[in-house]
Amino acid sequence: MSRQIVLYDTTLRDGTQGEHVNLSAEDKLRVARKLDEMGIHYVEGGWPGSNPKDGRFFEMCRSVRFKNIRLAAFGSTRRPYLRPEEDQNIASLLETGAETVTIFGKSWDLHASELIGATLDENLAMIRDSIRYLKEKVGEVIYDAEHFFDGYKRNPSYALKTVEAAIEGGADMIVLCDTNGGTLPHEVKEIIDKVAPGIDRPFGIHAHNDCGLALANSLVAVQAGGSMVQGTVNGYGERCGNTDLISVIGNLQVKMGFDCIPPEMLRKLTELSRYVSEVANMLPVNQRPFVGKSAFAHKGGVHVSAIIKDPRAYEHIEPELVGNRRRVLVSDLSGKSNIDYKAREMGIKIGGNGYGSDKIVQEIKRMEDQGYQFDAAEGSLELLIKKATGQFIEPFKLESFRVTIEKNGSDPSASQATIKISVGDEHEITAAEGDGPVNALDNALRKALYKFFPQINEMGLVDFKVRVIDGSDGTGAKVRVQIESRDPKEIWSTLGVSENVIEASWQALVDSVQYKLSRTPNEN
């Protein structure tokens, strides 16, 4: 039977200390519910003694029945030379009503003697007294030995005394913390091998990622006997972040055979990662292991040719195991295999008109040499293949357009676009204003097309990006415009390239509309 590893999530506390990561009390409750659904064991709700928002979160949780998680309140040991019952921080922890309290204390003599203004003996008493007092009031106390590894390397005997003080106080779990994130994996193993025999209860690891080793250190700690891993979803946290629990689960459960979450929840790992990104208003990292959009993306022609025969050739696991999917990208590095794979994926038959995958590859390489980037714009790629193989006829044609920008004094500039298009034998001329020239052009195009294709009202703009391809020509440089659009069913990306940003934007806009029309033919 595989060993159970307890997961302790601190996204709501340590994660929010990361730059640009902000969660309201309501956001925290949404994330806590999601973590509960996933089968995470502990969720650290925050530090009520330092943040009124965290106190409100715990108040909201009193009316919520969680199925899996134990809610933990976080705080510090009592202040120097003060009794626990006189310390407001300790009182705030108890006021939350949380069934688990996690407190941290100083393991590094540098902190104890030089930063908090206590003697080394008083620091030991602070740890012991705080835990003993809390154990009389709550069911479970977890002790975070802050800076344990740095403290051990400087003064091993004193670092051990701090852990012994926590055990004497009655701590249920000892968590060894690499708070500065500077300890190497071999050091973690050597230190745990020396101290673990003296810890007569379960212990865990809390690692930061300042050297990019938080995950490695967490795995090493588990192999050395640790039974709890603390971390955050997506590795959010102060400085370089905390251990990413997504990767912890992927490695411990999928690769190493430990039990972390219910097996049926593995397929929701990608969903969890993206959900928390959305709530935290953080862009998902495409290269994030296991769950990133690029984690199972293949671009090189040799790679694609191989995965068509056997995906194991270039994939360490099946992407579906963690709720992700395989993606084949098309670019100037592509071969026939990429096009064949993408065509099947898109439901497009190629070769029927003599325009086979080899010719499409050459066309893509020619266009990418001019600045196009089809691996980031699959909407434009699909249109290119359909047009090349005669499976898409352009539903409208541009006769002309004009864009004007007017600036009066300090007032914001005003933009207006006039456009003339033809649909079959009919012609339509419209004008529209916008917040900028591209917005005005978009509004005029939609206005002109609505009469013929009312379904375009379903689509909206998600993102608009402009990239300079080569800045050596200054303001006359060629630019690439990428547009991301969506309707109720899907999101797609299109692009345009030109020395003129309006022309590039027009190309991307037209591709976006044409993609929509190719997926939802006019029913009128």
Task: Tell me the pLDDT tens digit for each residue of 484-495.
Answer: 888 877 888 898
- Residue 524 is predicted with a pLDDT of 46
Assigned domain for 375 exists: no
CATH code, domain carrying 89: 3.20.20.70
Distance between CA 451 and CA 437 in Å, rounded?
23
Residues linked to residue 426 through DSSP beta bridges, in sequence order: 423
Q: Please provide residue 193's backbone torsions phi and psi, each rounded to the nearest 5 degrees.
A: -60, -30
User: Looking at residue 208, what is its pLDDT?
Assistant: 98
Note whether residue 103 is domain-resident.
Answer: yes
Rounded mean pLDDT, 62-70:
94
Most confident of 189-203, 298-312, 340-354: 189-203
Tens of pLDDT along 415-432? 999 999 999 889 999 999
- Which residues are CB-neighbours of 74 under 8 A, at least 6 positions away? 10, 13, 44, 45, 46, 47, 93, 101, 102, 103, 104
Last residue of a domain, one of 259, 281, 299: 259
Instruction: Quote the percentage of the chain above a pLDDT of 70.
Output: 92
What mean pLDDT is predicted for residues 491-510?
Answer: 89
pLDDT (average), residues 352-377: 70
Tell me if 327 is assigned to some domain. no
Query: In the prediction, which pLDDT does 342 show?
Result: 67
Residue 123 lies inside a defined structural domain of this protein: yes
Q: How large a percentage of the chain has pLDDT more than 90?
A: 59
Count of domains forming the chain: 2
User: How many angstroms separate the Cα of 413 from the Cα of each of 120, 213, 403, 441, 443?
Assistant: 66, 50, 13, 15, 17
Long-range contacts of 363-372 (CB under 8 A, 24+ apart): 363/388, 364/330, 364/331, 364/332, 364/334, 364/339, 365/332, 365/334, 367/497, 368/331, 368/332, 369/332, 370/478, 370/497, 371/469, 371/478, 371/480, 371/497, 372/480, 372/495, 372/497
Q: Is residue 488 part of a domain?
A: yes
For the stretch 238-261, pLDDT in tens is 999 999 999 999 999 999 999 999
Residue 164 lies in a domain: yes
The structure tokens listed for 422 are: 């033809």
Dist. CA 508–CA 481, nearest whole Å:
7
**Structural element, H or E, at residue 433:** strand 426-434
Residue that the structure tokens 């390239």 belong to: 497
Average pLDDT, the chain: 89
Instruction: Indicate the residue among 259, 285, 303 that finishes a domain.
Output: 259
pLDDT(47) > 50:
yes
* Residue where one domain finishes, among candidates 240, 259, 278: 259
Please report, as a single letter, which amino acid is at residue 58: F
Task: Walk across the sheet containing 479-486 and list its strands.
Answer: 460-468, 479-486, 491-498
Task: Indicate the range of 243-257, 283-297, 324-338 predicted with least confidence.
Answer: 324-338
Q: Do β-strands 297-298 and 327-328 pair in parallel, antiparallel, or remain unpaired?
A: parallel
Residue 197 confidence (pLDDT): 95
CATH number, residue 496: 3.30.160.270
Q: Does residue 311 lie in a domain region? A: no
Contacts of 316 (CB under 8 A, 6+ apart): none
Q: What is the pLDDT of residues 216-225, one digit of tens each?
A: 999 999 999 9
Q: How crowded is the C-beta side of 367, counted as CA atoms within 13 Å?
A: 21
Q: pLDDT value at position 370?
A: 76
In a domain, 317, yes or no: no
Q: Is the pLDDT reported for residue 168 higher than 70?
A: yes
> 239 is in which domain, residue-wise?
6-259
Task: Note whether 208 and 238 are within 8 A (CB).
Answer: yes
Q: Which of 32, 160, 170 is nearest to 101 (CA)?
A: 170
